[in-house]
Structure 1
């Protein structure tokens, strides 16, 4: 997988409580462990990962290129912002950018990037399924290469519901997830459901770090978006990813 469109991967997302390896606390704790593991993985690989993620995806550039600059008080949100490569483009369009990620180390990379490149954003550690923003407060949102890291459908749909909740009337969101159409997977082209898998990240010393993915069939992707209450304006597959332009249903 290479940097740019089709790498299917940008950032971590998940529970923002302190990670731990114990099992005390029963099922309530167990339910959070996969999301904590995602965060721990991206903290571990953040520096090397960031070096391979230099440029915005063409599909993101196209989506943002179609948006007129928003006025005073406008807010852009990048859910799973990673090292900030897309948040910087949002900053060209809206007055205030919020970049959210579960990984502290990736957020540090994003802060360094914004300082070096001369744009500003509020970077927040948090959970895509519990966005720390008021309802209807976001004019333009990106949720790119992050949804597929959430370990169960309930949480994925909840995160999309959160995206719908924070979008302002007239606001737009751009969502992506890895697709069964990607060359890495041997899946039927007409698949209606996706599957769970792990994909290794190889560090410079040769150590491999497994990362969870839910690989979406396009039909399944649209079903989850609809279940979350967003309205799909456009849906397509490009470079092995499912994409959708969405807005609120109101």
Structure 2
């Protein structure tokens, strides 16, 4: 896959948030079966967190990371836009997690309600820079003072792409998902340049505590910066 696709915000209705949600309604059942295990980077982050009151998995998919959070939190909220993925999450976590359908740019939680969060493999599916930054601001809003979250997104360093990992800007593209019958479904991605990822966090209400590139992804540990009262 080449970064020749247009970068920046897209006016293409096929790349709207509604279109992204429909994609995961179409592929959700099959997709969830290929996502059995938690990512090691998320396991490490959760293991290091200690016990907390309320945890959030924003973009929870089939619940594999919400399941991790349930091991350290008294209460876990898992949020996803896709009903198909939430059905898979229900099968996996049962009533140990409160599962909600929702939008990462408008989290249905009170300000300061979350003590620990993961927001992984979701930011890059939001099809405009405005939406991506709004979701980061929302994450900052719901985090309690001193709480931390792990944010991840696909990076130009990923070997799937013919891209310069030292570029200042990322790009928009689609990556096909192949269903068992052979049908391919394009999935929207914004592929982040690491410098761009750092910049978007810096321009949000979050503070970047640390960042690493791992398995072709940007991983940022963040905390609320306290810009909002």
TM norm structure 2 = 0.91
* Structure 2 residue corresponding to 1:199, chosen from 175, 192, 206: 175
CA shift, 1:229, in A, is 1.8
1:69 aligns with 2:45: no
CA shift, 1:186, in A, is 1.1
Secondary structure at 2:73 match in 1: coil
1:187 aligns with 2:163: yes
User: CA 1:170 to 1:143, structure 2 compared with 1: closer, same or farther past 3 Å?
Assistant: same
Q: List alignment gaps of at least 5 residues for structure 1.
A: 1-26
Q: 1:14 — aligned with what?
A: none
Q: Distance in 1 between matches of 2:130 and 2:44?
A: 30
Secondary structure at 2:112 match in 1: coil
CA shift, 1:32, in A, is 9.7
The alignment's C-alpha RMSD in Å is: 1.4
Q: 1:162 — aligned with what?
A: 138
5 Å-filtered alignment, 1:104-183, equals 104-115=83-94, 120-183=96-159
Secondary structure at 2:64 match in 1: coil
Q: Distance in 2 between matches of 1:157 and 1:227?
A: 8
CA shift, 1:189, in A, is 2.7
Q: Distance in 1 between matches of 2:166 and 2:185?
A: 31
User: CA 1:141 to 1:32, structure 2 compared with 1: closer, same or farther past 3 Å?
Assistant: farther
Q: Is the 8 A contact 2:25 2:83 kept in 1?
A: yes
Q: Distance in 2 between matches of 1:33 and 1:194?
A: 16
Q: Deviations over 1:187-239 (max 9, x none)?
A: 11311110000000000000000000000000000100111121111111100
Q: 1:239 — aligned with what?
A: 215
TM norm structure 1 = 0.84
CA shift, 1:33, in A, is 6.6
Q: 1:42 — aligned with what?
A: 24
Q: Distance in 1 between matches of 2:163 and 2:202?
A: 23
Q: Deviations over 1:57-94 (max 9, x none)?
A: 00000111111112xxx110000000000000000111
Q: List alignment gaps of at least 5 residues for structure 2.
A: 1-10
1:60 aligns with 2:36: no
